[in-house]
Amino acid sequence: MPRSSKASPKIYLELSSHFGCPDSKILPKILEKLVSYEEAKMLLLLPASIKQVAEKLGISVSKVAGNLESLFKRGLVLPQIFEDGEKGYALCGNLLDSILFEIGYRREQGNLSSIDLELIDLWDEFFEKELMGKSLPTDNIPVARVIPVNKAISVEAEILPFEIASGIIKKARVIAVAQCPCRTRGRHCDYPLETCILLNDVAEILIKRQIARKITTKEALSILEYCEDLGLVHHTDNASEGLSFICNCCSCCCFFLRGLLRYGKGNTTKSRYRAVINRELCIGCGVCESRCVFGAIKLENKVAYSDPQKCFGCGLCSTKCPTQAISLIPVRGKEHIPKKTAQNLLPALPPHDILLQ
């Protein structure tokens, strides 16, 4: 949305700081393309009830409600219910993904505008220069973790229900699929876009915004199998509770993998497993080496070797092995997966009942 003629660039600097990026040179440019001056003034007042925003700006409640609902549909805010029972909104904690989900949807439909293309370029610049290059934490609990391919795990191993993609899917209350925000932004490959699986409250948010479609358990499992076949790595929240997404990640665009492989700090962690190779069964075909995005498998004297330090335990090396020489074994305890993650794909979610209003 073009900004008002009365707009001052200063307000977008303030808004960028309000979104948690006070030193960004790029986010203010993005926000200037996304919101008008009047909308920016509303965003600077959040979190707040609709009534509070109307009173502070001296405009009608109905106008504020309409503008904030529009901002919700565009991915900048999330609905909230405050202690006094008043409905209001808070800033979306993951602005990048929230906006790119919508742009990805339009890209898949062939409806990208010139503004969309400019925004994609700006988001990519923001990602590379400011997010990946400088600010990712290296010592905090990672946001995401790799999920192993179920059929790769040794039959003797104990499998926890929240570390297997199919088990996570089968327990979900609501499932949706949306365009991958990372490949929308990165555009480095031809892997399919509609592979980002959302669960429960996050799924309902994106369904309500009409940028994700509700799918069945069977459809979700089919997407997982298709992505495994392509060699995409499953990721979910680094937690045992409140799981909100399953990403199917490529190494060239993915927030988690690209950050890890290029910058060494992709905010993801290993599964509890690592690959072991039966060297007597290995025929040295090299398929496993080509499928390992982490560079953990190499051929030595025509036999595959897996580096335990580099292996993330995704299991993709085993799924195409013609002699079934590779399996995953547990090498980390249950404590490796925390109960709750530091943040979700869309943090600070509102209560379930308000999502459906």
Q: Which of 203, 210, 197, 204 is nearest to 236 (CA)?
A: 197
- For residue 341, is pLDDT > 70? no
Whether the predicted pLDDT of 20 surpasses 70? yes
Span 27-35, average pLDDT: 94
Give the rounded distance of the alpha carbon of 328 from its chain centre: 25
- The owner of tokens 């995409």 is 232
Q: Where in the chain is the domain with CATH 3.30.70.20?
A: 273-331
pLDDT on residue 141: 76
pLDDT tens-digit profile of 125-162? 998 888 876 545 545 678 899 999 877 776 666 777 78
* CA pair distance 55, 167, nearest whole angstrom: 48
* Per-residue model confidence as pLDDT tens digits over 94-107: 888 889 998 988 88
Q: How far is CA 70 from CA 1, 35, 39, 63, 81, in A?
A: 11, 10, 10, 11, 18
Q: Kindly tell me the number of DSSP H helices and DSSP E strands found in the chain.
A: 15, 14
Q: Quick: pLDDT tens for 176-203.
A: 999 999 999 999 999 999 999 999 999 9
In this predicted structure, what is the pLDDT of residue 192? Answer: 95
Top CATH class of 273-331 equals alpha beta
Report DSSP state, residue 65: H
Q: Across the chain, what does the average pLDDT equal?
A: 87
Q: What is the structure's pLDDT at 342?
A: 56
pTM of the model: 0.86
DSSP H helices, the chain, are 9-18, 27-34, 37-43, 50-57, 61-73, 95-109, 114-125, 165-171, 181-186, 200-208, 217-230, 255-258, 287-291, 316-319, 352-355
Q: What is the pLDDT of residue 127?
A: 86
Q: What is the pLDDT of residues 246-303, one digit of tens each?
A: 999 999 999 889 888 887 766 889 999 999 999 999 999 999 999 999 999 999 999 9
pLDDT at 164: 86
